[in-house]
Chain A
Amino acid sequence: MNIADIRAQFPILSEKVHGKPLVFLDSAASAQKPDAVIDAMSQMMRSQYANIHRGLHWMSERATEDYEASRNRVASFLGGAREEIVFTRNSTEAINLVAYSYGSLLKPGQAVLISEMEHHANLVPWQMLRDRVGIELRVAPITDDGDLDLDAYGRLLSDGKVALVAITHMSNVLGTITPAERLVTMAHDAGAKILLDGSQAVVHRKVDVQKLGVDFYTFTGHKLYGPTGIGVLWARRELLEAMPPFMGGGDMISSVTFEKSTWAPIPAKFEAGTPAIVEAVGLGTAIDWVESIGYEAIGAHEAALTEHALRVLPEVPGFSVIGKPKERGGVISFTMDDVHPHDIATLLDRNGIAVRAGHHCAEPLMHRLGLTATARASFGIYTTEEEIDTLAETLKRIRQLFV
């Protein structure tokens, strides 16, 4: 994998910020886009665009083919069947779909089990379900190192009341990669279905839903070098078939009278209205692009970057890495004594370096860690060791300003 070649495919990386070369260390929030994705989307809008599924004309048929080809692409990417791929706006909408639709089949007395390190997207929909349906919401704790506490997870499953486990496959704050296969086995042994939020994980490693044995898997396009506005829910066919529609409208029906409507087969049942057609095509292209580089190369590059970062960053006076999980993806949250994360982020920005600071949409996790905010550097395919060195050097200078 040649980093210079890869970087050359991301036009934004040659931009300057405040007169400095852009050092983009915020890929976990949203990744930058390669030429392949930008070109595929603009090409479609320039030459082959129409609404899908409805038109009897040439343009509509071609656009429908492209849209459905992307569904096939996502299906083979995750190892599922094409009917099992539901396009959503993002991972948040995918989880909400499950919470509304599958959630409506749950009864008081049953429970949903999440963890302490969930993004708000995998927490708030379940709280809303709890308040709507009267289920119990359980929270599996994490260890001080930032791993899921498997003993506690087992205990929370042991009474057989948990109908659904919903847990992140990789923490957006701690970088923790959760032991998915173990979680799935334990959930199934306790009679629960399991959803994994793969928003972060899918960027960093090959995901095969059959191998994982999971029941629901969600991810979003924009973190995977694709566009915003397109996400994916994969679920087992029998689950999707048993679930009622999430939203009503065009394209999701079989027949409609004023008295009654019947639903289209899956996945159309869950895709009411004109979908994000161009974005779906962009996502398919992004997956092609990622797979052309290969997860082995991506994984090796990110592991090397993370190792480098964990070596050079702690040399910054007052620097603390948050969490020490057994397995970590390319995400490092940190604090620096005497400097608030927002001040760190502002000063890094003025020196061309983009990081995230705040609670990272995981407020309960921040409480668990005894923090109100952290700064976070996250790496992508295009990140270099030199950029991490620039971050370390700039952090040292920031600290000098404050101390």
Chain B
Amino acid sequence: MDGSSCYDALILSRSRKPEFSGSVEEETARVQGNNPVCGDRVTLSLRATAGTIDAVRHQTRGCAICMASADLMAEAVTGRSVTDALELGCRFTDMLETPSSQNMVADEDVLPVGLQAFRPLRTHRSRLRCATLPWTALGEALTQ
């Protein structure tokens, strides 16, 4: 159906069955991200030691985009350095917010496939925040 490109099969399956939900043991940071406009809420629990993210889990109450974004973010940043993860968040946001496709080639080099699944959302301005909310929360967790 029209508009279903925003709902890649990966996004749909992760929204139905998230693989990174819950809380981590020995967590070093916990942050809640809220979108007051729609009531979406993401709670991130993570463990970072020596500048590396060992594990991330999330508890998400929200739409399919938000749920899948939190889950695919958790997968993408696990094992990365804090600096790398923050950089990835910038690239992800950039991919969604840059109107032209000029970054497409660069995105393909840098962004894991799971994150590229959100690319069609760029034409849906009112929904960008659903995808970026988990990343905003991650940024807060990593810089606090």
Contact with A along B11-48 (1 / 0, CB 8 A): 01000100000000000000000000111100000000
Task: Please state if A350 and B12 are interface contacts (CB–CB under 8 Å).
Answer: no
**A173 vs chain B, min Cβ distance (A):** 14
Of the candidates A343, A372, A394, the one having the most CB atoms from chain B within 10 angstroms of its own CB is: A343
Task: Please state if A18 and B2 are interface contacts (CB–CB under 8 Å).
Answer: yes
Binding site for A on B (CB under 8 A): 1-4, 6-7, 12, 16, 37-40, 61-65, 124, 126-127, 130
CA distance A342 to B1 in the complex (A): 17
Task: Please state if A366 and B3 are interface contacts (CB–CB under 8 Å).
Answer: no
Question: Which of B1, B61, B127 touches A401 (beta carbons < 8 Å)?
Answer: B1
With an 8 A cutoff between CB atoms, is A349 at the interface? yes
Task: Please state if A397 and B7 are interface contacts (CB–CB under 8 Å).
Answer: no
Note all chain A residues with C-beta closer than 8 A to B2.
18, 20, 347, 350-351
Note all chain B residues with C-beta closer than 8 A to A190.
none
With an 8 A cutoff between CB atoms, is A365 at the interface? no
**B15 vs chain A, min Cβ distance (A):** 8
| Chain A contacts with B in 344-403, Cβ cutoff 8 A | 346-347, 349-351, 357-359, 363, 366, 372-373, 394, 397-398, 401-402
Q: Interface residue tally of chain A, by bracket?
A: 20 to 34
Task: Please state if B127 and A346 are interface contacts (CB–CB under 8 Å).
Answer: yes
With an 8 A cutoff between CB atoms, is A237 at the interface? no
CA distance A394 to B7 in the complex (A): 16
Task: Please state if B12 and A401 are interface contacts (CB–CB under 8 Å).
Answer: yes
Note all chain A residues with C-beta closer than 8 A to B38.
342, 357-359, 373
Task: Please state if B37 and A358 are interface contacts (CB–CB under 8 Å).
Answer: yes
* Smallest CB gap from B4: residue in A: A401
Task: Please state if A347 and B62 are interface contacts (CB–CB under 8 Å).
Answer: no
* Smallest CB gap from A342: residue in B: B63
Task: Please state if A346 and B6 are interface contacts (CB–CB under 8 Å).
Answer: yes
Task: Please state if B61 and A402 are interface contacts (CB–CB under 8 Å).
Answer: no
**A374 vs chain B, min Cβ distance (A):** 10
| Chain A contacts with B in 314-340, Cβ cutoff 8 A | 338-340
Task: Please state if A402 and B127 are interface contacts (CB–CB under 8 Å).
Answer: no
Can you list 12 A-B contacts (CB < 8 A)? A342-B38, A342-B63, A347-B1, A347-B3, A347-B4, A350-B2, A359-B38, A363-B39, A401-B4, A401-B7, A401-B12, A402-B64
CA distance A20 to B1 in the complex (A): 13
CA distance A394 to B1 in the complex (A): 9
**A343 vs chain B, min Cβ distance (A):** 5
* Smallest CB gap from A397: residue in B: B1
